[in-house]
């Protein structure tokens, strides 16, 4: 009984864990599919070389995570299969004992089936009390025999279910192994592609480093403009209240409520696009080919479909329209003392002073004529301090 209870509990626990792992695996598979569709489709040799290196590196990282997760699922199934095998073995032993016991009961019943035997058994009682006890015994014996028969039927059904589960688990494990082999083959090809790309970069080092310098210069220009506009907004807001602070907003009671609600939704805020993938994360990271070169992203880059629109992540007020010389346009929204920035827009649907709510459309995201990519650059600040959007946007 303890073995059966343990097996049942373990099975439920494993099923929950298996479902969680399967959900993660499906999410990773979807992410790989989106990477292929958004970062590789119709681009191939188009696009700058730095973008291709970053896209391939992201794909390899996601593929490695998928393989690790699939191995974890396979190991979990192995443990579940072993528990079921032990439970089946114990159940068969119990079933054999039940059947042997039942066989003895049937044999005894057959030997004593005569009505005369039962009648003599009662008449041979020494007194009325013993006769009543013997009647009760015969009833209990019949009930016990019936119960044993039902128990055998239940155990047989339980054994059939366990055997069926075992077959399904072995099929699931085999399917996981097949998918893992495919993923490893794909990973091998991607690593080979990466090696070829890196070799070609080494042969054109000047072109690669020029691309890096150009991108870093563009990023610094955008960052400076974003921070200039935030400080300007702080100064204008605070001037109305006689506050000379240029780094922190002086909040009205209404703005405090918005800021508190925004902060309470940390990790649960909606994406600034309806669908897409994070093609470049926040922070400082080393170059894949030249580790001495460092790249910085003060926001996150989200790649999406052509024709996609940027949308507000929370209620707020449009405090600035960005227009970087030689670049695209953008929108800044104030949420209390939090500021979200949406950059690389080709067309705007809002203007300074507009009030917005979550999911309101802000503008069309620009699609590059050069490589066909559609990328939104998204930044998040608290007053004049940078925040990592990955900590705030749901599953970013």
279: in domain: yes
Domain boundary among 178, 203, 228: 203
132 and 183 together in one domain: yes
Residue with tokens 């009682």: 125
236 and 176 together in one domain: no
366-393, pLDDT tens digit by residue? 988 777 789 999 999 999 999 999 999 9
Domain count along the chain: 2
Q: Cite the DSSP H helix spans in the chain.
A: 2-35, 49-111, 115-123, 128-203, 205-239, 253-264
Domain boundary among 181, 203, 225: 203
**Nearest Cα to Cα of residue 342 among 222, 217, 213:** 222
85 and 188 together in one domain: yes
Q: Tell me, what's the pLDDT at 45?
A: 46
Count Cα neighbours of 58 within 13 Å in the Cβ-side half-sphere: 25
Q: Tell me, what's the pLDDT at 108?
A: 63
209: in domain: no
Domain boundary among 203, 233, 266: 203
Among 43-52, 180-189, 225-234, 260-269, the least confident range: 43-52
For residue 330, which phi and psi values (nearest 5 degrees)? -155, 175
265 and 123 together in one domain: no
38: in domain: yes
Partnered with residue 164 across adjacent β-strands are none
Q: Report whether pLDDT(286) > 80.
A: no
171 and 294 together in one domain: no
What whole-number distance in Å separates Cα of residue 220 and Cα of residue 213? 11
Among 44-48, 61-65, 208-212, 230-234, the least confident range: 44-48
173 and 263 together in one domain: no
210: in domain: no
Q: Report whether pLDDT(8) > 60.
A: no
CATH number for the domain that contains residue 98: 1.10.287
274: in domain: yes
Domain ranges, residue 299: 215-391
107 and 43 together in one domain: yes
CATH number for the domain that contains residue 273: 2.70.70.10
230 and 197 together in one domain: no
348 and 199 together in one domain: no
Residue 186 pLDDT grade (very low, low, confident, very high; cuts 50, 70, 90):
confident
Mean pLDDT confidence for 206-231: 83
191 and 256 together in one domain: no
Q: Tell me, what's the pLDDT at 55?
A: 75
Among 43-47, 148-152, 282-286, 357-361, the least confident range: 43-47
Would you tell me how many other CB atoms lie within 10 Å of the CB of residue 79?
11
83: in domain: yes
Contact 43, 372 (CB under 8 A): yes
57-88, pLDDT tens digit by residue? 777 878 888 888 788 777 777 777 777 777 77
What whole-number distance in Å separates Cα of residue 69 and Cα of residue 63? 10
Mean pLDDT confidence for 348-359: 95
* Token couple for 207: 């072109």
* Token couple for 246: 């240029």
144: in domain: yes
Q: Report whether pLDDT(51) > 80.
A: no
The pTM of the full predicted model, rounded to 2 decimals, is 0.62
293 and 247 together in one domain: yes
231 and 346 together in one domain: yes
Among 57-66, 190-199, 296-305, the least confident range: 190-199
């Amino acid at each position: 009984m303890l073995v059966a209870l343990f097996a049942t509990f373990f099975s439920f626990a494993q099923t929950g864990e298996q479902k969680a792992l399967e959900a993660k695996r499906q999410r990773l598979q979807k992410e790989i599919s989106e990477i292929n569709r958004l970062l590789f489709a119709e681009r191939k040799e188009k696009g700058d070389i730095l973008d291709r290196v970053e896209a391939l590196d992201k794909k390899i990282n996601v593929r490695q995570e998928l393989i690790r997760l699939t191995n974890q699922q396979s190991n979990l199934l192995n443990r579940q299969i072993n528990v079921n095998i032990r439970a089946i073995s114990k159940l068969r032993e119990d079933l054999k004992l039940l059947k042997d016991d039942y066989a003895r009961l049937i044999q005894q019943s057959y030997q004593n089936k005569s009505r005369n035997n039962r009648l003599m058994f009662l008449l041979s009682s020494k007194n009325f009390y013993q006769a009543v006890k013997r009647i009760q015994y015969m009833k209990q014996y019949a009930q016990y025999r019936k119960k044993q028969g039902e128990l055998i039927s239940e155990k047989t059904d339980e054994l059939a279910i366990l055997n069926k589960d075992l077959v399904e688990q072995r099929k699931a494990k085999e399917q996981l192994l097949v998918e893992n082999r495919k993923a490893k083959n794909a990973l091998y090809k991607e690593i080979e592609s990466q090696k070829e790309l890196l070799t070609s970069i080494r042969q054109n080092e000047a072109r690669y480093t020029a691309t890096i310098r150009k991108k870093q210069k563009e990023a610094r220009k955008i960052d400076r403009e974003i921070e200039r506009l935030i400080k300007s907004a702080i100064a204008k807001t605070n001037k109305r209240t006689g506050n000379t602070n240029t780094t922190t907003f002086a909040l009205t009671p209404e703005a405090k409520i918005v800021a508190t609600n925004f902060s309470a939704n940390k990790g649960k805020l909606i994406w600034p696009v309806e669908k897409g993938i994070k093609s470049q994360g926040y922070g400082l990271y080393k170059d894949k080919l030249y580790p001495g070169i460092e790249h910085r992203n003060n926001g996150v880059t989200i790649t999406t479909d052509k024709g996609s629109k940027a949308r507000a992540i929370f209620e707020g007020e449009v405090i600035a329209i960005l227009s970087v010389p030689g670049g695209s346009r953008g929108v800044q929204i104030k949420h209390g003392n939090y500021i979200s920035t949406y950059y690389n827009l080709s067309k705007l649907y809002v203007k300074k002073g507009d009030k917005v709510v979550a999911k309101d459309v802000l503008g069309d995201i620009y699609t590059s004529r050069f490589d066909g990519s559609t990328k939104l650059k998204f930044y998040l600040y608290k007053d004049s301090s940078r925040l990592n959007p990955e900590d705030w946007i749901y599953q970013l």
